[in-house]
Amino acid sequence: MRNKFKILGIALMVGGWLSAGIAFSTNIPDPINTIMFVGGPVMLYIGVIILGVIVLKS
């Protein structure tokens, strides 16, 4: 179970960076661009929290 949460945390972190990077570097219509640009760091922080909880509990 812990390994699944580690993979989930890492996937959220990588997905957050990719989402923010794609939203910043491409020409996407405005509402979608803003959602991706805000959602990317949110995904990143959720991934960091998940990994932090797993590391602190081990």
Domain count for the chain:
1
Instruction: Please tell me the chain's helix, strand, coil percentages from 3-state DSSP, rounded to the nearest 5.
Output: 90, 0, 10
Q: What are phi and psi of 28, to 5 degrees?
A: -105, 150
pLDDT band at 55 (very low <50, low <70, confident <90, very high): confident
Domain span at 42: 2-57
More confidently predicted of 19 and 2: 19
pTM recorded for the entire structure: 0.82
